[in-house]
Amino acid sequence: MDKLLEIKDLHVSFDTYGGEVKAVRGVNLDVKKGETLAIVGESGSGKSVTSKAVMGLIPNPPGRIKQGEILFNGKDLTKLSDRKMQGVRGKDISMIFQDPMTSLNPTMTVGKQIMEGLIKHQKLSRSEARERTVKLLDLVGIPNPDKRVKQYPHQFSGGMRQRVVIAIALACNPMLLIADEPTTALDVTIQAQILDLMRDLQKQMSTSIILITHDLGVVANLAHRVAVMYGGKIIETGTVDEVFYKPKHPYTWGLLSSMPKLHGKSEELLAIPGSPPDLSNPPKGCPFAPRCPHAMQVCIEHMPDYTELTDTQKSACWLLDERAPKVEPPETIGVGGSK
Amino acid sequence: MIAAQGREKLLEVKNLKKYFNVGHKEVLKAVDDVSFTIYKGETLGLVGESGCGKSTTGRTIIDLYGATGGQVLYSGKEVHGVKEKSKKKELTRKMQMIFQDPYASLNPRMTVKDIIAEGIDIHGLAKNSKERQARVFELLETVGLNRDHASRYPHEFSGGQRQRIGIARALAVDPDFIIADEPISALDVSIQAQVVNLLQNLQKERGLTYLFIAHDLSMVKHISDRVGVMYLGNMVELSESDELYDEPLHPYTQALLSAIPVPDPNVERSRERIILEGDVPSPIDPPSGCRFRTRCPMAMDVCAQVTPKWQEAKEGHWVACHLHDDEYKHG
């Protein structure tokens, strides 16, 4: 498959009163055409910042892309002028935000907000745009679309608003869709509806999706590949099966173990002790070392390189070094669900 | 699992109602005729989607909201409408609450020491400042913080640590019963597990009883002995947690369970989901009869006319659905 997006050695920092916060510290990623890549991690791991960098939405100041390239179809997005970036954003790459309550403009009708992009990017006339808007609302499963276009966001429920946000994102048939926690603010039954919708739409339009989430259930449901982020770095990446069934990084083990299982009863959850690192003063070695039950001296001093386990799976951990002791993953990672 | 029979009832909720006036003579029935019992030493989980009334139930039990109707009995004694100060104080000491948002539930202008000791002061549980300080240190250590933290302010702590402070504050007055209202939903996954383990260990050590309110069904299953499911102000099903997850009776519970994405790619690929249509109706003007009927894949004619009875379908398994009522079972 062709690479649609390639992120090379991306560093993003924020200058704050407390000093420089290194939110993203050397991320390498690629997204192929038509696939869903999930970026998982806890708050502050740099997953949202990475995606915002792709969208050119890092506020400057305080934020800046210190280093690295973001190649989209071969052209470097970090080098584009603001004006040129506006031609990409919303047209080739678009975004679904987390909170449908705040990502829509309350003073504009829903129809107008969807038409905005169509008129600007696709140079459609008003009437054409309106027609397409009604079709889009129908596509995302909003009943009575011809009536609903004239309504305001407050007249929609949470789930319906998220459908509108998806319609806006899909308006110009983007090649890449970034979904930043698209279902976190929604209830489970509504989440199931939206995940279903996203999967159907991807099949129909063969859009690539970057899915940012902390919910491993959503990842298992939607993603083809997974990148696990911690402390501003990707510590493990692979296909969804590799990461869930054969994880190699202790952080991935911890993440999978700390989820309660729906079937069968476990006595105690395997919690990861401690809390994530402070990125204004990032650790020299592996960011997970202070919380890692298998940490060695070398982990504290040097960041490990990636070990290529298969064509698709890479993991950055000293345990994979041939000199390291053999450590078996805990039994508790036995992924949930299966009866 | 211990059978519910023959166990000591700690809290009895009988036909609890909480209505809010929302203007124009409209009434929002947030909790409408909910009854359940919590036994001593158990964890009762309460789940449902936003707006189903689970938090309101918790807050009404502890009298943060005055109940519109119904009764709450704690060890057989009425909780609401207690006028006498000393009796009221005794009740509030035994029932404590842990709140959802660890950022909003701690006073930013008070030190951790004063936050935790507030209850101790009110109830006069420490004879002098030395004893007070010793209690605070002990509590901090119980919840996995250390004594150096006592003189700091809440903003110096992370979300998980703040939630631990909230737990220490609840424990300070030696309660028997704790209402935990979404205590982990604002935390990251790895931190959630820490807090849940802490709550479980405290329960073992101190014989606490919990009402655990959350929308994360897998976490609720993990921590609870029994689970109640709410929908639009009503309790629709209540049973032991394994049974509820293995054999849900109410169509809403079935849909809710099938909607949870499981962190297992193979299961997700092969799973058949019951996807509910539409949204939760407004609690200001709920549907007649069974409130779930507008989204229920198995709704019958009778569901629109008759409100289903809250009854025991099997031993210890309560449900409010016509499908499990002998009278209407066959349509």
pLDDT at B69: 92
Task: For chain A, give the mean pLDDT.
Answer: 88
Q: Does domain A3-223 have CATH number 3.40.50.300?
A: yes
Interface of A with B in 260-289 (CB under 8 A): 260-263, 265-266, 268-273, 275-276
Q: In which band, very low, low, confident or very high, does the pLDDT at A339 lie, cut at 50, 70 and 90? A: very low
Place of tokens 């390291």: A324
**CB-based contact A32:A209 (threshold 8 Å):** no
CA distance B162 to B112: 9
Q: Compute the average pLDDT of residues B271-290.
A: 86
CATH fold of B9-324 reads: Rossmann fold (3.40.50)
B314: three-class secondary structure by DSSP: strand
- Return the pLDDT at A97: 86
Token pair of A46 as six digits? 């740099």
Using an 8 Å CB-CB cutoff, list chain A residues near B263. 216-217, 219-220, 244, 256, 259, 335-337
Strand, helix or coil for residue B72:
strand
Percent of chain A past pLDDT 70, that is, above it, reads 96
Query: Would you give the DSSP letter of residue A77?
Result: G
Using the 8-state DSSP alphabet, how is residue B149 labeled?
A: G
Q: So what's the pLDDT on residue B1?
A: 43
- B197:A268 CB<8 A: yes
- What confidence score (pLDDT) does residue A336 get? 43
Indicate whether A187 pLDDT > 50.
yes
A 233-262 residues with CB below 8 A of B?
A: 240-241, 244-245, 254-262
d(CA A221, CA A217): 6
- pLDDT over 90 percentage in chain A: 54
pLDDT single digits (tens) B223-235: 999 999 999 999 9
Decide if A258 and B265 are in contact by the 8 Å CB cutoff: no
Structure tokens at A45: 């791991």
Q: If you average pLDDT over residues B107-119, what whole number do you get?
A: 94
What is the structure's pLDDT at B23?
Answer: 80
Average pLDDT over residues A307-317: 92
Band of the pLDDT at A263, cuts 50, 70, 90? low
Q: Which residues of A touch B190 (CB under 8 A)?
A: 42, 254-255, 258, 271-272
Question: Which residues is B37 bridged to in the sheet?
Answer: B12
In which band, very low, low, confident or very high, does the pLDDT at A338 lie, cut at 50, 70 and 90? very low
C-alpha of B55 from chain center: 7
Query: Which backbone phi and psi does A44 adopt, to 5 degrees?
Result: 85, 5
* Between B231 and B5, the higher pLDDT residue: B231
Full DSSP string of B28-65:
EEEEEEEEEEEETT-EEEEE--TTSSHHHHHHHHTTSS
The answer to whether the CB atoms of A261 and B50 lie below 8 A apart is no
Q: Which residues of B touch A (CB under 8 A)?
A: 49-50, 158, 160-161, 188-194, 196-197, 200, 215, 217-219, 221-222, 242, 245, 255-268, 273, 275-276, 279-280
* Edge-first strand listing for the sheet containing B77-78: B27-39, B9-21, B69-74, B77-78
Rounded to 5°, the CA angle A93-A99-A101 comes to: 120
Tens digit of pLDDT for each residue in B135-176? 999 999 999 898 899 999 999 998 889 999 999 999 999 999
CA R_g for chain B = 21
pLDDT confidence of residue A337: 36
What DSSP line would sit under B195-228, residue for residue? HHHHHHHHHHHHT-EEEEE-S-HHHHHHH-SEEE
Give the number of other Cβ atoms within 10 Å of residue B14's Cβ: 14
CA distance B13 to B72: 5
The domain segmentation of chain A, as residue ranges, is: 3-223, 230-333
User: Edge-to-edge strand order for the sheet containing A93-96?
Assistant: A93-96, A176-180, A208-213, A36-40, A225-230, A233-239, A314-315, A307-308
Which tens digit of pLDDT belongs to each residue from B38-92? 999 999 999 988 889 999 999 999 999 999 999 999 998 898 888 888 888 888 8
User: How near does any CA of chain A get to the CA of B147, in Å?
Assistant: 17
Beta bridge partners of B71: B14
Q: How many whole angstroms separate alpha carbon B160 and alpha carbon A271?
A: 12
Query: Tell me, what's the pLDDT at A287?
Result: 93
Tens digit of each residue's pLDDT (9 = 90 or more) over A95-154: 998 888 888 999 999 999 999 989 989 889 999 999 999 999 988 888 889 999 999 999
- Which residue in chain A has the smallest CA separation from B253? A189
Q: Could you tell me the pLDDT band of residue A334, with boundaries at 50, 70 and 90?
A: low
Tell me: pLDDT of A210 over 80: yes
Check B158 against A275: CB less than 8 A apart.
yes
**How many CB atoms are closer than 10 A to CB B209?**
23
Element holding A243 (H helix, E strand):
helix A240-245
Query: Cα–Cα distance between A194 and A219 in angstroms, integer?
Result: 14
